[in-house]
Amino acid sequence: MKSRWSLLALGLFGLVFDGGRSSLVHADSLTVKVNSVLSQAATQVRGLQEKDGSWNLPSYLGTHYLSQYYLFLEWMGARAGSRLDEKRLRELLIKTQGENGSWIAINDANRDSSDLNATIINYAALKGMGENVDGLVLSRAKAFILSRGGVQAASTFTKVLLALFQNADWQCIPEIPYVIFLEKSPINVSDFAQWVGPHIMPIAYLRKHQVSKNLGEKFRVLELWKKKPHIGERSSPSLLSGDSLLIDKIVSLQRPRGSFGAYTVATWLSMAAIWDFSSQMPNYVSVFGNYHKPLKKGLSFIESMYFDSNESAYKGVLDDGRYWDTALLGIASFEAVKTVSAAQPVPETARADLDKAVSYLVSKQVKNGGLPFGWDFEYAPDTDDTAEMILFLSRFDETQAARKKAVEFLLSMQNSDGGWGAFDRNNNGNALLKHFAAPFLDSADLFDDSSADVTGHILEALGSQGYTINNSPAVRDAVEFLKGNREYHLPYWQGRWGINTVYATPAVVTGLIKVGVSLSDPMITRALDWFEKIQNADGGFGEGTKSYEDVAHFAGVGVSTPSQTAWILIALIEAGRANSLSATRAAEYLVDQFDDKKLWVDSSTVGTGHPGVIYMNYPSYPIAFSMTALSRFQRHRL
Q: Catalytic amino acids?
A: 384
> Cα-atom radius of gyration of the chain, to the nearest Å?
25
User: How distant is the alpha carbon of residue 111 from its chain centre?
Assistant: 21
Strand partners, 382: 371
Q: Give CA torsion, residues 509, 515, 521, 524, to 10 deg.
A: 0
**Distance, CA of 214 to CA of 295 (rounded, Å):** 22
**Distance, CA of 263 to CA of 266 (rounded, Å):** 5
**Distance, CA of 409 to CA of 482 (rounded, Å):** 21
Q: Do residues 239 and 232 lie in contact, with contact meaning Cβ atoms separated by under 8 Å? A: no
What is the dihedral sign for C-alpha 145, 150, 154, 160?
positive
Q: Do residues 497 and 454 lie in contact, with contact meaning Cβ atoms separated by under 8 Å? A: yes
**Residues in Cβ contact with 396 at an 8 Å cutoff, skipping those fewer than 6 apart:** 4, 358
Q: Do residues 16 and 319 lie in contact, with contact meaning Cβ atoms separated by under 8 Å? A: no
Q: Of 561, 569, 506, which Cα lies nearest the Cα of 34? A: 569
176: left (phi over 0), alpha (psi -120 to 50) or beta: beta
User: How distant is the alpha carbon of residue 182 from its chain centre?
Assistant: 30
Q: Of 541, 569, 588, which Cα lies nearest the Cα of 628? A: 569
Q: Of 531, 532, 513, 522, which Cα lies nearest the Cα of 489? A: 522
- Decide: helix, strand or coil at residue 371: strand
Q: CA-CA distances (angstroms) from residue 210 to 164, 172, 204, 338?
A: 8, 11, 10, 59
Backbone angles phi, psi at 420, to 5 degrees: -130, 140
What is the dihedral sign for C-alpha 381, 386, 392, 398?
positive
Q: Of 38, 26, 600, 22, which Cα lies nearest the Cα of 339? A: 38
User: How distant is the alpha carbon of residue 429 from its chain centre?
Assistant: 22
Strand partners, 289: 286
Q: Do residues 625 and 562 lie in contact, with contact meaning Cβ atoms separated by under 8 Å? A: yes
Q: What is the maximum span of the chain, computed from C-alpha positions, in angstroms?
A: 87
Q: Do residues 57 and 623 lie in contact, with contact meaning Cβ atoms separated by under 8 Å? A: yes
Percentages (nearest 5) of helix, strand, coil residues in the chain: 55, 5, 40
Helix axes 116-128, 136-147, angle to 10 degrees: 150
